[in-house]
Structure 1
Amino acid sequence: MRETAGTATGLRERKKERTREALVDAALELFLRKGYDATTIDEIVAAVEVSRRTFFRYFAGKEEVALARAIEFEGLFLEALTARPAQEAPLTALRRAGAEVFARVAEEEQEGAGQEFLRMRRMIEATPVLLAASLRNAMELERRMAREIARREGLESERDRRPALLVTLYHSVMRVAMDEWTEGGALDVARLARVIDEAWDDMGTLLTGRWTAGEIPRA
């Protein structure tokens, strides 16, 4: 039976996706084993048995492939935020979008994925070019999130600072929670959800002005 045009296109798209995923996996394995600076694009394409030309169809360079997983996560978050019900309060929409994406990650998590995440995060923080790129991506993500919150609320993000302030607050809590999660050692997503909820509880306390200097932190 002959393939229809739609079937052929679908097969090509799946092949492209498999090639891209193979390049990301090979690159991350090499970066973690040899280090980012010591890894070359030639080594990455050799591991997948494709050409440099094929690599550059998918990525602008090593920096982009190193941050591919983080960029994918950001895309999932923006999709989840855009899909939240219009009647949800902005902060509720942000928190539920984040929880939805983490739940999806937990479903797909493979054995050892948490340790790989931790190693990648430490590598990014220890590699100036990757840290700079990661911070640029984070700033752009915050701008896009603020525009989405403004759209949901019928505001103009260029004239109203509240969406930007809310998104900055959200990311501040998430960064602190992620730091605590990775430093804790047991990198399971269920624990991350608990840490995030506790961090929001603490932020709520701070925002109401109920700060007690002598409080004993939670175990």
Structure 2
Amino acid sequence: MPTLRERKKARTREALVEAAQRLFFKQGYDSTTVDEIAAEAEVSRRTFFRYFPTKEAVVFPDNAERLERFRQLLRAAEPGESPFASVRRACVGIATELMQDPHSYAEQQRLVVASPALIAHELESDREWEAAIAEALLRAGAISTSSINPDIQYRARILAGAAMGVVRATLKHWRDSGCAINLLDLAEEGLQMLEQGVGRTLFMKNSAA
């Protein structure tokens, strides 16, 4: 059970997120300052930065924790599971989380598409997810990333980039539908298409090397 201090911290964090969202939708992300967010949440500027390192970060409050859960899912390969199947399972696991609160995701994306700064921030975040997929593919192939053949690393990065392309297209299609389509079905379909087309290439070439 969370301690009193932990509950207070969670409430303050939630208050900052809600205050930021109110201001962003009222006056725009780019026109809103950290000082205004802090004042709206009735805390100091210093308190804001104890919870969020940048203004962009308050738009994506769950990203760091979600990325870590994604990495954990990638590491939890099931017996006999193919490397790309592990990636698909991890992506579907995160999709399950998003489906629990589609409204929050849709609201977040409304802000993102209206701000070049947030688009850039999201693209930078995507690179972290892409790197996690590439590392998982290499790890699943029982290859040491410190001594791996550069060609294998290159192919892993290509496949990870392709997987993230599927993820982005899937999320956009889901968002454009008003989050009415089943995201899990979309994710499964898109990633299966990728696996059937190119997902085996890295490992076939690696085994032949």
Q: Which band: TM-score by shorter chain?
A: 0.7 to 0.9
| 1:128 shift after superposition | 1.4
Q: TM-score, normalised by structure 1?
A: 0.75
How far apart are the structure 1 equivalents of 2:196 and 2:72? 30
- Which structure: larger Rg? 1
Q: How many equivalent pairs are there? A: 194
| 1:202 shift after superposition | 4.4
Deviations 1:154-199 (A, max 9, x none): 22446322332222221111111112212223x14x6112222333
Q: Report which stretch shifted further, 90-99 or 62-71.
A: 62-71
Q: 5+ unaligned residues in a row in structure 2: which ranges?
A: 200-209
**Contact 2:83 2:137 survives alignment (8 Å):** yes
**Contact 2:84 2:195 survives alignment (8 Å):** no
Q: Report the counterpart of residue 122 of structure 2 in structure 1.
A: 134
Equivalent residue letter for 2:185: R
**Contact 1:173 1:199 survives alignment (8 Å):** yes
Q: How does 1:42-191 map to 2 (within 5 A)?
A: 42-85=35-78, 87-106=80-99, 108-109=100-101, 113-114=102-103, 116-157=104-145, 159=150, 160-161=152-153, 162-185=155-178, 187-188=179-180, 191=182
Q: 5+ unaligned residues in a row in structure 1: which ranges?
A: 1-6, 209-219
| 1:92 shift after superposition | 0.7
Q: TM-score, normalised by structure 2?
A: 0.78
**Contact 1:84 1:97 survives alignment (8 Å):** no
**Residue 193 of structure 1 is aligned with which of 184, 190, 207?**
184
Sequence identity (%): 35
| 1:93 shift after superposition | 0.7
Q: Report which stretch shifted further, 49-58 or 196-205.
A: 196-205
Rate the CA distance shift 1:54–1:204 in 2: closer, same or farther, 3 A. Answer: closer
Equivalent residue letter for 2:187: I
